Amino acid sequence: MHPRRQDGPLLNRNTIAKIRFVSEDYNPAFLGELIETYLGQAPSLIAEMRGCVRAGDAGKLEFVAHRLRGSSLNLGAEQMA
């Protein structure tokens, strides 16, 4: 099974702009930190999802997928969600 490719940008520029606007006064580096955190966590969440599929653990798969989806949407990575 191959993921369905969606048209459009990988990142939602409006979401990125909102994050920048909200964080610019108290932590200008926040967006970069958020991206680094996401990139650090996403591979392990994907690996965990694969393990859930192999183990047939649908409940845990749903939970982990929900975490990845939420993180993706918070960052504006809508195609990842």
User: Any idea where the domains of the chain sit in the sequence?
Assistant: 29-81
Long-range CB contact pairs, 14-23, < 8 A, 24+: 14/76, 15/74, 15/75, 15/76, 16/76, 19/75, 19/76
Please give the full DSSP string across 26-73, using - where no structure is assigned. Answer: T-TTHHHHHHHHHHHHHHHHHHHHHHHHHHT-HHHHHHHHHHHHHHHH
Summarize pLDDT for 9-33 with one digit per residue, the tens: 888 999 999 999 999 888 989 999 9
Please state the pTM of the whole predicted model: 0.79
Res. 4 pLDDT band, cuts 50 70 90: low
